[in-house]
Structure 1
Amino acid sequence: MAKIILKSQFTVSSKQSLFNFVDYVTRNQALKDKKKEQTLSDTEEKELERMTQLLSDSEFSVDDVYSDYIDYMKREQATLSEDDHYLKGVFSSSQTKVRREDVRELKQEIEDVTRQSRMGSVMFQDVISFENDFLIEENILNSKTNALDQDRLYKATEKMMGSLKENEKLHDTFWFASIHRNTDNIHLHICSMEKNNTRELKEVADGQFEVRGKRKQRTLDKMKLAFGQELTSPTYRLQLQTSMTNNRDSLLKDLKKTYETEVFSDNRSFLTEINTLKKELPDNKFNWQYGKLKPDTQKRVDRLTDVLTQKSPERMRYTKNVDAYATYLKELYGESAKPDEYLANKEQEIKTRLGNNLLNNLKKDHAVINHKVKKMLDDLPVHPKEGRDKKEIQKKETPKIEARPKASPYHSRKNMAIIKKNLVHDYDMKRAENDYEQTQYRIAAAQQRQSYDYHH
């Protein structure tokens, strides 16, 4: 089971049902506080029992559940303890502590929003729940005093609401939240709205339209990730991320070192594989990039990089840390963190980096490799033996024809000008090639950072 759970719904409704929700999140906690102080009346005790039972059946309700006890909720003096000026465990987008008069202002704001919108208003309702052991581990809940670090919950909620606003492209939003302890696990109720609705309309019947309230699943997943990253201690997460980066960089260095050893030691088997790969690469070296290769060519590159890194201890360390981070995500957020997708993305990322590393080395050593491959082929024995003998005899019997001496290309001013022009052209081409490669590298790095940011 995930340590952080998000349940979400929305209400497109009248102002009265939205009022009920605001009253509920303040009233329920007030009753719990009064019970601790042993100041509940018999009627309030029954109300609290009924609310707890209703919530055990469903985390959500607005019209059906809340309307039955709206009379009690409107008794605003019951939402405050006698010696406390602020509502306990309640905060909003503008205040870390909420007073009784602030609730009245919030209701007025909701009334203004619903009055302005003829098609109804959307209230997003979210419930974040936790395992209490997790809150204790993170030093958010004190197991001895039962005290809760409300400031950390506020900051995490603020981060989550920012993620909602960004991913759903909302404007001028406000939200209201309350910490509840009326179930086995502590949970947080949050309601949010736009002051001026910008959501698209959908047709619910002939000529009748309603504001679209459903949010994308991707939005909800990012909301939970934003909440968890702000709430949890970053120590372990940063430790794993730093280790992965160091392992990856060391692995790239190991690949280059092994590559140079194999090439310059004239390893025939390796040179043969490299020569086969080069035949499959595009003619234009600008396109010697892993992401631009055909799938079969990418697989050949993968086989070569696997060979070059198979003895590197950094490969195993990198894989171990990636697996540990995927496990961390799954334990914290559950399947909504998409741990399998994270593993697949990291595997593709390391293949791409290793592949580009190899391809860059091939471009740099292009002439050297060609020379070594040619020398290797020239050194191979010629078969059959008769063919070799025949070739040698023909060589002996063929009369030598003295070649006419070639005129020096530097003989005339015209030739010198042509050579100079070609040299300048070659220099410009080389510089353009280098600029292009740098640009492509920056684009690939940006794409990898975007993929990385999704899971961080």
Structure 2
Amino acid sequence: MTRPAIVNVSKFVAAGNKKFASYVDYVDRDKAIRNEHFSAFNANRFDGYHRYMENPEKSSGLFTADKNSLTQTERKKLKDTFQLAQKNDSIMWQDVISFDNQFLKEEGIYNPLTGYLNEVAIQESIRVGMKATLQAENMEASAVWTASIHYNTDNIHVHIAIVEPYPTRDYQQFRNKKTGELYSARRGSRKQNTLDLMKSKVANNLLDRDKELTRITELVHQRMIPTEERMNQFLTLPMQHLMQSIYKELPEDMRKWKYNMNALDAIRPKMDVLTNMYINQYHPEDRSELNLALNNQKEFYKRIYGEGTKEANRFEDYKTNKEQEFYAKMGNAFLKECINIRQNEKHAFHQKFGESKVFQPSTLTRGTLKKLKDSLQKDYRSMKNQRKYQELQEEMERKS
């Protein structure tokens, strides 16, 4: 069974907890003193690989969202921030991100023979993971965090402490498990999806997987969607026959014309066949490329989360989900234009016969099929222009 490459363990403590107070006491000390008193403020007794987190023999200095190392003055300022959070009754979250050393070795991030570790790469991956984590928990504007890299013989791990100087978490009623008494405290739990997101973002950044994910997204949402160059060939005779069959079977209520609606359960397989006809005729190479990329990404998740783990099981359907995403994209593009065609038919019918007549939808004629083609061309141009705009915005953000 494959050992997970990355494990994330999280715990939180209230402002009145001794671990919180001890962390504040030592946050401005040098790393040697912090290492010596590590157990006093460490709330995580388990890191995913070790049963107990002993005091580290070696650690890096503290780093933050925008600093790779802190001066004494900066550590003092950070301590003031943590003291303010404690005074305002903030939760303190302590996360441990543990790496399998063999994994780091294979990726050229760690050399056990020389002791070299690419700390900058680790720090940057933690920053990317923390940004996504805080966004997911609506804490991006309110939270302050600090972290340090710890070394030992079996695995390298990063300890992270997060507080809110001005807390945003609501108070809730909880029951003491020992006494049964009710008490009020801030909500500290975080969603499992958030913890999964942290691991995923750290791994993607550390291994530069973002380009691979972007390629998958491009294949799913752009390259295999009908293009202007292929549009004149898109409506082949077999496709026209299948499209007419689908159109005739659509329910009267156009609000149900969405790919994943239950009302289209019987029609959805036909839409998938239409999609396959298009892909097999015009994009067989892209389909092969997508399959390879999805298989590689699935193996990546297996390596990161470990075989047989709960986390890995959640990603076993990654390939199927991405393919389904593409089928839905194609299906909804077709259904959107079918709505336009039906509305135009209704408008023309009522203009000719009046509102009192009962409208009976027709089958798709060559004229309506041409309108469908023109509308899809317009949708494609809009989608392409939107993507260009997003790329421009991302480029501007990188330069800012």
TM-score range, shorter chain: 0.5 to 0.7
Could you say which residue in structure 2 is the equivalent of 1:7? 9
Q: SS state of the match for residue 268, structure 2?
A: helix
Which residue, 302, 322, 330 being the options, matches 2:294? 322
1:166 corresponds to which residue?
Answer: 135
Amino acid at match of 1:146: G
* Structure 1 residues 133 and 29: alpha-carbon distance in aligned structure 2, compared to 1, 3 A threshold: farther
Deviation at 1:216, TM superposition (A): 1.0
Residue segments in structure 1 that go unaligned for 5+ positions in a row? 34-43, 74-78, 81-86, 372-429, 450-456
Task: Give the count of matched residue pairs.
Answer: 338
Counterpart of 2:290, as a letter, is Y
Aligned residue in 2 for 1:345: 321
The residue that corresponds to 2:46 in the other structure is 58
In the alignment, the residues of structure 2 paired with residue 153 and residue 187 of structure 1 have an alpha-carbon distance, to the nearest angstrom, of: 10
Q: Counterpart in 2 of 1:238?
A: 211
Q: Distance in 2 between matches of 1:173 and 1:360?
A: 42
Structure 2: give runs of 5+ residues left out of the alignment: 176-180, 342-362, 391-400
**Distance change (3 Å), C-alpha of 1:282 and 1:150:** same
Q: Which has the larger radius of gyration?
A: 1
**2:62 aligned partner:** 90
- 2:202 matched residue in structure 1: 227
**1:162-218 Cα shifts (integer Å, max 9, x gaps):** 223212122432222121113401111111100111111111356631111111112
Amino acid at match of 1:313: P
Counterpart residue number, 1:313:
284
1:324 is aligned with what amino acid?
A: N
Cα separation, partners in 2 of 1:178 and 1:244, compared to 1, 3 Å = closer
Matching residue of 2:81 = 109
Alignment of 1:127-276 (within 5 A): 127-170=96-139, 171-205=141-175, 208-234=183-209, 238-239=211-212, 241-242=214-215, 245-246=218-219, 251-252=224-225, 260-261=235-236, 263=237, 273-276=242-245
1:367 aligns with 2:365: yes
Q: 1:357 to 1:319 in 2, by over 3 A?
A: farther
Q: Measure how far apart 1:123 and its partner are.
A: 0.7
CA–CA separation in structure 2 for the residues paired with 1:309 and 1:207: 60
Deviates more, 1:198-207 or 1:287-296: 287-296
**CA displacement 1:291-347 (0-9 Å, x = unmatched):** 567121122222333345456633344223222222223322455373234323212
Match of 1:278 among 231, 247, 255: 247
Structure 1 residue 259: Cα displacement: 5.2
Shift of 1:158: 2.1
Q: Is the 8 A contact 1:15 1:111 kept in 2?
A: no
TM-score by length of 1: 0.59
Change (3 A) 1:5 1:164: same
Q: Secondary structure at the match of 2:365?
A: helix
Identity of aligned residues (%): 26
Deviation at 1:289, TM superposition (A): 6.2
The answer as to whether partners of 2:94 and 2:159 remain within 8 angstroms in 1 is yes
CA distance in 1, matches of 2:53, 2:155: 21
Q: What is the distance in 2 between the residues matched to 1:216 and 1:367?
A: 51
- The separation in 1 between residues aligned to 2:253 and 2:34, in whole angstroms, is 73
Distance 1:299 1:10, change over 3 A: same
Q: Which among 277, 281, 298 is matched to residue 268 of structure 2?
A: 298
SS in 1 for 2:110: coil
Secondary structure in 2 aligned to 1:186?
strand
Q: For the structure 1 residues 161 and 250, does the alpha-carbon distance in structure 2 shift closer, same or farther, using more than 3 Å as the test?
A: closer
Q: TM-score, normalised by structure 2?
A: 0.66
Distance 1:183 1:369 in 2: 72
Query: Contact 1:204/1:210 (CA < 8 Å) preserved in 2?
Result: yes
Q: Give the whole-Å Cα distance in 1 for the aligned partners of 2:173 and 2:53.
A: 28
Counterpart amino acid of residue 10 in structure 2: S
The alignment status of 1:122 with 2:91, answered yes or no, reads yes
DSSP 3-state at the match of 1:340: coil
Say whether residues 1:20 and 2:22 are aligned partners.
yes
Would you say the 8 A contact 1:256–1:357 is kept in 2? no
Give me the whole-angstrom Cα distance separating, in 2, the residues matched to 1:55 and 1:200.
Answer: 22
Q: Distance in 2 between matches of 1:259 and 1:116?
A: 63
Tell me, in whole angstroms, the C-alpha distance in 2 between the residues paired with 1:198 and 1:246. Answer: 40
CA distance in 1, matches of 2:135, 2:68: 22
Report how far residue 127 of structure 1 moved.
0.5
After TM superposition, give the deviation of residue 286 of structure 1 in Å. Answer: 10
Q: Counting helix residues as a fraction of each chain, which structure ranks higher? A: 1
Q: Deviations over 1:268-289 (max 9, x none)?
A: xx76544433321357999876
Q: What one-letter code is carried by the residue in structure 1 that aligns with 2:99?
A: F
Give distance in 1, aligned partners of 2:29 and 2:319: 45
Equivalent residue for 1:413? none
Residues in 2 aligned to 1:284 and 1:208: alpha-carbon distance in whole angstroms: 52
